[in-house]
């Protein structure tokens, strides 16, 4: 048999993107400053100049998206008294896979009196995308954490729908050494049919979750409910327990989701959205 006639697995030979970012910030002279930045592969972190005492960080994936078998990891540390906001410049696109599952690991660590806002823009899944995402948080009792993640199933403006695929989203938050939040969303196979079910998505094509953990988180429940402005095409609800506050958004489109979530984020946080959200 000639070399050219040898069988081969095209998927196994395809080049995969691998990227890692490890970033740490500390409070010095009442301002938050970077103390450690590690980058490898296609992951980068940028620190645009800000006017406040906190630090804004922007995560950039130079691979232009996530494809089958790609693997990325992000580690963010807010040291004692530091205040860090992490965002992304655009939606993260997850493209069709011919089999392998792409993986994204996020590890957030907060120390005493620290504040961390994790505010990436939405994750956009294409038809037959396959993604496993894991988010782990470790924090003390007096730290403050705000997480917001949105996922969109297809680009409705281009009549693109996620008919089949795999999406697993696993969140674990540990506070003061105790697990206070554990949530796993897993959609596999006929994703469009699953989202049509009333108990899953009721026809939704965009989902989002906000988790706020702080000493006063549960006390802000009524405030949060009042700040949830009704938007056609988007259902939203808030609850509080275990020292955290949770808000769920379920929308027919990303436009409806943003119309509901963006004003809420501004009013609830008492701050504008990250500048990269508006560019």
* Closest C-alpha to 61, from 115, 25, 106: 106
CA 81 to chain centre: 23
Average pLDDT over all residues of the chain: 92
Q: What are the residue boundaries of the structural domains of the chain, listed by start?
A: 20-278
- Indicate the DSSP class of residue 161: -
Residues 221-231, buried b or exposed e (16+ Cβ, 10 A)? beebeebbeeb
- Per-residue pLDDT at 199: 85
**Tokens encoding 89:** 């410049």
Cα 75 to Cα 78: distance, rounded to the nearest angstrom = 10
**pLDDT-derived band at 57, boundaries 50, 70, 90:** very high
- Per-residue pLDDT at 122: 97
- Per-residue pLDDT at 7: 46
**pLDDT-derived band at 5, boundaries 50, 70, 90:** very low
Cα 214 to Cα 16: distance, rounded to the nearest angstrom = 39
Q: pTM of the prediction?
A: 0.92
**pLDDT-derived band at 14, boundaries 50, 70, 90:** low
Nearest 5°: the CA angle 153, 158, 159 is: 65
Cα 72 to Cα 58: distance, rounded to the nearest angstrom = 15
Bridge partners (DSSP) of residue 133 are: 104, 169
Interval 230-244: pLDDT, tens: 999 999 999 999 999
- Tell me phi and psi for residue 120, to 5 degrees: -70, 155
HSE value, Cβ hemisphere, 13 Å, CA-based, for 134: 10
**pLDDT-derived band at 68, boundaries 50, 70, 90:** confident
Cα 26 to Cα 1, 32, 44, 60, distances in angstroms: 62, 5, 19, 22
């Amino acid at each position: 048999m000639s070399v050219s006639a040898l069988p081969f697995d095209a998927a196994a030979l395809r080049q995969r993107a691998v990227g890692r970012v490890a970033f740490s910030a500390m409070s010095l002279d009442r301002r938050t400053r970077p103390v450690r930045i590690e980058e490898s592969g296609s992951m980068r972190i940028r620190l645009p100049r800000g006017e406040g005492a906190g630090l804004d960080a922007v995560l950039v994936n130079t691979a232009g998206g996530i494809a089958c078998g790609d693997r990325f990891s992000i580690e963010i540390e807010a040291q004692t008294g530091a205040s860090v906001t992490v965002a992304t410049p655009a939606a993260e696109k997850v493209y069709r896979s011919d089999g392998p599952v792409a993986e994204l690991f996020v590890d957030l660590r907060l120390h005493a009196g620290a504040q961390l806002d994790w505010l990436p823009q939405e994750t956009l899944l294409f038809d037959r995308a396959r993604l496993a995402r894991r988010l782990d948080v470790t924090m003390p009792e007096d730290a403050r954490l705000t997480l917001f993640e949105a996922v969109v199933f297809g680009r409705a403006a281009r009549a693109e729908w996620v008919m089949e695929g795999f999406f697993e989203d696993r969140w674990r938050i540990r506070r003061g050494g105790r697990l206070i939040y554990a949530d796993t969303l897993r959609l596999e196979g006929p994703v469009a049919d699953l989202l049509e079910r009333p108990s899953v998505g009721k026809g939704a094509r965009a989902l989002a979750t906000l988790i706020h953990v702080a000493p006063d988180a549960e006390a802000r429940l009524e405030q949060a409910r009042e700040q949830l402005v009704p938007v056609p095409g988007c259902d939203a609800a808030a609850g509080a327990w275990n020292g955290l506050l949770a808000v769920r958004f379920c929308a027919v489109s990303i436009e409806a989701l943003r119309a509901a979530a963006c004003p809420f984020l501004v009013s609830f946080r008492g701050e504008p959205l990250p500048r990269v959200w508006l560019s």
